[in-house]
């Protein structure tokens, strides 16, 4: 164990995931594996790789490349994930994943729960 091993750990850093994702992913219709695929994509994005290939994602998972590919496809079709296409200032075309649809679903779910909590409290007080 030397200092460079330690240093590279610090430089790789952490990824910070909204805690509500773990609380709500099942409620918004994701399976455990689908959520894991999303976490891998999020990790790549946060580390600066905005459009990882299926192979790069699957290499880190026990899930087969084929299943990984299918999972990503259905995540897009069912509106949890999207692929944005664009052009840089230098005119280079790019594609990148966006988790915006997922965050919107989470916000909606969270707002719903807040409302229920409020309703519940009101009922108690009125009860």
Q: Footprint of a copy of itself on this chain (CB under 8 A)?
A: 1-20, 22-23, 25-26, 31-33, 35-36, 39-40, 43, 46-48, 60-63, 100, 103-104, 107, 110-111, 114
Specify the residue, 20 or 76, whose C-beta has the smaller distance to a copy of itself.
20
The nearest distance, CB 5 to a copy of itself, in angstroms, is: 5
Helix (H, G, I), strand (E, B) or coil at 93: strand
Q: How many CA atoms lie within 13 A of 84 on its CB side?
A: 11
Helix (H, G, I), strand (E, B) or coil at 99: coil
Specify the residue, 40 or 75, whose C-beta has the smaller distance to a copy of itself.
40
Specify the residue, 95 or 117, whose C-beta has the smaller distance to a copy of itself.
117
Specify the residue, 60 or 95, whose C-beta has the smaller distance to a copy of itself.
60
The nearest distance, CB 94 to a copy of itself, in angstroms, is: 14
DSSP string computed for 51-80: S--HHHHHHTSSS-HHHHHHHHHHHHHTTS
d(CA 87, CA 16): 28
């Amino acid at each position: 164990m030397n200092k460079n091993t330690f240093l590279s750990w610090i430089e790789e850093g952490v990824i910070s995931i909204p805690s509500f994702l773990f609380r709500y992913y099942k409620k918004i219709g994701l399976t455990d594996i689908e959520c894991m695929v999303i976490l891998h994509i999020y990790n790549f994005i946060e580390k600066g790789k905005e459009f990882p290939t299926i192979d790069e994602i699957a290499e880190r998972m026990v899930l087969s490349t084929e299943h990984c590919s299918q999972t990503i496809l259905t995540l897009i079709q069912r509106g949890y994930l999207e692929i944005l296409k664009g052009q840089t200032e230098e005119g280079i075309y790019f594609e990148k994943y966006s988790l915006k649809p997922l965050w919107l679903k989470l916000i909606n779910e969270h707002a719903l729960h807040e409302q229920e909590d409020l309703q519940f409290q009101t009922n108690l007080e009125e009860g």
